[in-house]
Every structure is written in structure tokens, then in C-alpha cells.
Amino acid sequence: MNAFLAVSRGIDRLSAGFAVIADYLVLIAVLVSAGNALLRYTLNMSSNGLLEIQWYMFAAIVLLGASYTLRMNEHVRVDLIYSMLSTRGRLLVDIFGFVVLFLPVIGFLFWLTFPFFWQSFTTGEASMNAGGLILWPAKLTLPLGFGLLFLQGLSELIKRVAALNGLLTLETKYEKPLQ
């Protein structure tokens, strides 16, 4: 189990690294957006490339940050009974969810999106808009994001199995958001 926990720690570090990239992309997207608005309203200039790069960054922010969100247990839940369960019950629900739902669905999404990206990459697909950008970098965020999310799901599964066996203390408490 220690080897699995070492793999889990490595995956956690990988997710954290991509979360830093997503954090910087937020700043860059804001600067590009502000710069584009400034150019448009002061000099009456704009570019489809500037608009498209913002969309690319928004996609990357969400898809590269999703695995870290899962790691931090900040993802969206449908909490019907989870908060009423014991720690052991929560761990069992999480393990079931990762094995039966999460990993198969995310693996399937990766499988669907990789050919989508690969075809764009090999053909050099570009935007049809004047001044538009090549499309494969934006499409790469799909399999990359789902791949990272799949790995983080494995990491979370490993941690929950370890916690169930008493090898790790894991915070499972979940508070539903105030509404």
C-alpha cells in the first residue's frame, strides 16, 4: 500500500503543478481581455486571435484546474445522505463512486477527446475566422484535463482505501453550501 500512496502523492503534486498553471492563466486571461477591450474602445482595433486566445485560456483554466479541485474536495456534490454518514460510510460511498461512476466516465471522456485533439493536431486545423488561431492547443486541453482528472480520481481512490484500512487520516466532512 505504501507504493500506492507514493504514486498518489506524485499525482497530487502533478495536479498542484497544473493548478499553478491554471492560476497564472486566470491572470493572463484578465490582462488579455482588458488589453483587448482597451484596444477596441480607445483605438477601434480588435483581433479574432485575441478573442480566441481568451477562450483557449478559459478552457485551460477549467480543465487544468479540475483535478486540483477534486484533490481539495471542493467539487460539486449532490448530497442527499453523505453528511449524515459516519466517516467509514463516507469512505465507502466515495470508493463506490470512484470505481463505478467517476473513473469509467472520465476514462471514457478521455478516450472520446483524444482522437478529437489528435485529428486537429495532425491536420493543423485552424480557426475559420480571419486572424484566428490554430485549434489544436485548445483541443489538447480536453484530453489533458480529463487525463489529469482520471489520475486524480485514482489518487483519491488510493487515499480512501488507505484511510479505510487505517493507514491514513482523511478529512471526509462535507458541508453543503449556504443557500
Please, which residues have CB within 8 angstroms of residue 134's CB and are 6 or more apart in sequence? Answer: 124, 125, 126, 127
Out of 3-12, 95-104, 111-120, 123-132, least confident range: 123-132
Cell reading at 9? 502523492
How high is the pLDDT of residue 175?
67
| Range with lowest mean pLDDT among 30-34, 44-48, 75-79, 151-155 | 75-79
Check pLDDT > 80 for residue 176.
Answer: no
Rounded (5°) CA angle 31-49-112: 100
Average pLDDT over residues 118-129: 91
Statement: residue 178 has pLDDT above 70: no
Q: What is the pTM of this model?
A: 0.89
